Amino acid sequence: MDIQEIKQRFGIIGSSPLLNRAINIANQVAPTDISVLITGESGSGKEVFSHIIHQMSPRKHGPFIAVNCGAIPEGTIDSELFGHEKGAYTGAVGERKGYFETVNGGTIFLDEIAEMPLGTQARLLRVLESGQYIKVGSSKVEKTNVRVIAATNVDVYDAVKNGKFREDLYYRLNTVPLRIPPLRDRKEDIYLLFRKFTSDFTDKYRTPPIQLDEEAQQVLINYSWPGNVRQLKNMAEQLAVLERDRVITAQTLLTYIPMEVSGRNLPMRVENQQKEDFSERDILYKVLFDMKRDMVELKKLVADIIEHGGVSINHANHSQTINQLYRDIDLPNAPDSQFTLQQPVNNNNNGSPYNITQAQDAEEVEESLSLIDKESDLIRKALKKHKGKRKLAANELGISERTLYRKIKELNL
């Protein structure tokens, strides 16, 4: 059976190469009896592919059952899958057959396999390896002939690395991996699916046909559809039932997109409300790095003045800039008067219009990297700025008033 016939038989719509590849793999693996692991996001149609594999296999006349492993409580999943004997646990008033017994000769589809408890995973591995299992509360080994198709919407290999899924079971199930593409990777299929769904629902509810204008079509195609085909179908049903105007605009369509996901999936302007949260040590390190950068820039400026001494520079402005740099850096034991530009008495300084006082000393100034010194200096500045008011100073430093009080006592300020 070719791909187009499979699509018609199982109601699959789309011409995406990724979708065609998935159908082709299902078609090839169906006649065999090996296990298949179907991966794909929620709502992408994994269960449809399990039906394709079963219906095109030699087991098509046998039973088929789909089991959602995530919907069965951990305490009863062993009983659901393998059955139990009377009195096996509280409430077990009689013997019960499990799915592996009732589906003998057919196919069992284990959806959300990654949610299966580790103990049940070990039992499942034994079934896959030897076809044997033991009912809960029994010591008798039972035999079954069941084909297992598993599916999950999570990365099973990551679950293996995190110890949440057995590695041996992963490789046993993953004999043939089958990935179902998400709807956002099938953009050419989105509008076709939407038209099919709206046509079905307008016929079902006997309402006029739904149409999208060009802008609405672009919104529909460019949306990322985190809920995949299931979400698209749900939206089509809402539009068919609720909208009086049967020509849907982009603005109308946007009202059906959940607000909590619209910011992630549409080109919208989103303000960054994230606030930085620095600890005391982070603040000190930031100050130190800023001071180091300012010192390097100051050294470059001094070297440039010495090298290009002949360049005409406004003395007053330049002297003010240099002294302002020193005031901003606030080096220990380095007052504003330590570095000054003086008018030359004569022009014997290699043609330079200025006499650079202590220039070489400025290049050799070593910056103190003591956290205690810098912390003490910052606290003094904050207290001086806010005239001794500890609460305002603490807010300026980004610490609590209690922490500031403790620091003042520790540093003897």
Compute the distance between CA of residue 264 and CA of residue 347 in angstroms, rounded to an integer.
Answer: 67
Q: Rounded to whole angstroms, how far apart are CA atoms 178 and 37?
A: 6
Which residue would you say has higher pLDDT here, 336 or 238?
238
Q: Which of 92-101, 134-143, 272-281, 296-305 has the lowest mean pLDDT?
A: 272-281
Q: Domain residues for 257?
A: 196-265
Which among 4, 26, 5 is positioned nearest to 15, based on CA atoms?
4
pLDDT of residue 359: 43
d(CA 391, CA 402): 9
Ramachandran area for residue 293 (φ above 0: left; ψ -120 to 50: alpha; else beta): alpha
CA–CA gap between residue 408 and residue 413 (Å, rounded)? 5
Does residue 401 carry a pLDDT above 90? no
The pLDDT score that the predictor gives to residue 270 is 39
Give the confidence band of 42 by pLDDT, cuts at 50, 70, 90. very high
CATH classification at residue 257: 1.10.8.60
Q: Within this chain, do residues 216 and 357 fall inside the same structural domain, yes or no? A: no
Greatest mean pLDDT among 239-243, 317-321, 367-371, 377-381: 239-243
pLDDT of residue 67: 95
Same domain? 95 vs 22: yes
Average pLDDT over residues 375-393: 83
Residue 313's pLDDT is what? Answer: 44
Mean pLDDT of the chain: 81
Q: Which helix (H) or strand (E) holds 74?
A: none
Among 118-122, 143-147, 318-322, the least confident range: 318-322
State residue 304's pLDDT score: 74
Residue 284, token pair as written in the block: 């000190």
Do 256 and 304 fall within a single domain?
no
Question: Residues 256, 235: contact at Cβ < 8 Å?
Answer: yes
Q: Is the pLDDT of residue 226 over 50?
A: yes
Q: Residues 356, 376: one domain?
A: no
Mean pLDDT of 330-335: 45
The answer to the question of residue 281 being in a domain is no
Residue 189 covered by a domain = no
Using a 10 angstrom Cβ sphere, with 0-12 exposed, 13-18 middle and 19 or more buried, the burial of residue 242 is: exposed
How many independent structural domains does the chain possess? 4
10 Å Cβ neighbour count for 166? Answer: 18
Do 397 and 342 share a structural domain?
A: no
Q: Is pLDDT of 341 > 50?
A: no
In a shared domain, residues 156 and 296? no
Answer yes or no: do 44 and 175 share one domain.
Answer: yes
**Which phi and psi (to 5°) does residue 180 adopt?**
-95, 120
pLDDT band at residue 202 under the 50/70/90 scheme: very high
pLDDT in tens, 146-189: 999 999 999 998 999 999 999 999 999 988 889 999 999 999 99
- For residue 264, pLDDT over 50 is answered with no
What is the structure's pLDDT at 185? 94
**CB of 324 closer than 8 Å to CB of 283:** no
152 bridge partner residues: 39
